[in-house]
């Protein structure tokens, strides 16, 4: 199976990005993770993106905060799908990161998930891989069934609580 690569602009992004590790593990998807900065290590960002396909990577998740150019610079050097994960920043609450990632000019798309939306980045990566990887679709469907069961359980608990009022 092709891997998901998670790249982050700084190790300070890791607490958010690690949420994607859990989800990918649950789906049985192999992944690798790297700290690569669009600003501080631009040559490394280019080298990573250029070599990603040959390294067996199928989807790249690029997490970054503030002036978050990592997803864009990586997408510029590969035709693999790139999912941008905006990280909540201390000064502008992640709106800076979100707009930097989502507002790519025409020609080089970066699919964008919510601020700190690591789980959705992993699920979207899985959905992309599922187009060509047997068995993944069933895992995605099972995940949705489990999610729905949790909601039904929560509603049941709420109804019990309301009876006691
Ligand atoms: C971005 O700047 C990183 O993705 C991180 O979210 C932010 C701050 O980086 P550090 O100063 O914590 O290394 O490039």
Closest residue CA from atom 14 of ligand 1: 9
- C-alpha of residue 8 to centroid of ligand 1, in Å: 8
DSSP letters, the chain, are -PEEEEEESSGGGHHHHHHHHHHHHHHT--EEEEE--TTT-HHHHHHHHHHTTTTTEEEEEEEEESS--HHHHHHHT--S-EEEEEEPPTTTTTHHHHHHHH-PPTTS--EE--TT-HHHHHHHHHHHHHTTSTTHHHHHHHHHHHHHHHHHHHHHHHHHHHHT-
Please list the pLDDT of the chain residue by residue as tens digits (165 residues): 999 999 999 999 999 999 999 999 999 999 999 999 999 999 999 999 999 999 999 999 999 999 999 999 999 999 999 999 999 988 999 999 999 999 999 999 999 999 999 999 999 999 999 999 989 999 999 999 999 999 999 999 999 999 999
- C-alpha of residue 34 to centroid of ligand 1, in Å: 14
> Please, is 67 exposed, middle or buried when counting C-beta atoms within 10 Å of its C-beta (0-12, 13-18, 19+)?
middle
**3-132 is a CATH 3.40.50.1970 domain:** yes
- C-alpha of residue 128 to centroid of ligand 1, in Å: 27
pLDDT of amino acid 10: 97
CA distance 88 to 138: 32
pLDDT of amino acid 90: 86
Distance of CA 124 to the CA centre of its chain: 7
- C-alpha of residue 145 to centroid of ligand 1, in Å: 36
Residue 12 beta carbon below 6 angstroms from any ligand 1 atom: yes
Boundaries of every domain in the chain: 3-132, 134-165
Atom nearest to 89 CA in ligand 1: 6
């Amino acid at each position: 199976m092709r891997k998901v690569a998670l790249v982050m602009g700084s190790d300070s992004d890791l607490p958010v990005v690690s949420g994607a590790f859990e989800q990918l593990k649950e789906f049985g998807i192999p992944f690798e993770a790297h700290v690569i900065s669009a600003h501080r290590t631009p040559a490394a960002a280019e080298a990573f993106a250029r070599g990603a396909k040959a390294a067996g990577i199928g989807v790249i998740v690029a997490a970054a905060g503030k002036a978050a150019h990592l997803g864009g610079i990586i997408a510029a050097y590969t035709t693999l799908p790139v999912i941008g994960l905006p990280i909540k920043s201390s000064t502008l609450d992640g709106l800076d990161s979100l707009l930097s990632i989502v507002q790519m000019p025409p020609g080089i798309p970066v699919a964008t998930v919510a601020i700190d939306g690591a789980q959705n980045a992993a699920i979207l990566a899985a959905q992309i891989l599922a187009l060509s990887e047997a068995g993944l679709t069933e895992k995605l469907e099972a995940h949705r069934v489990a999610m729905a069961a949790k909601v039904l359980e929560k509603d049941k608990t709420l109804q019990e609580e309301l009876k006691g009022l």
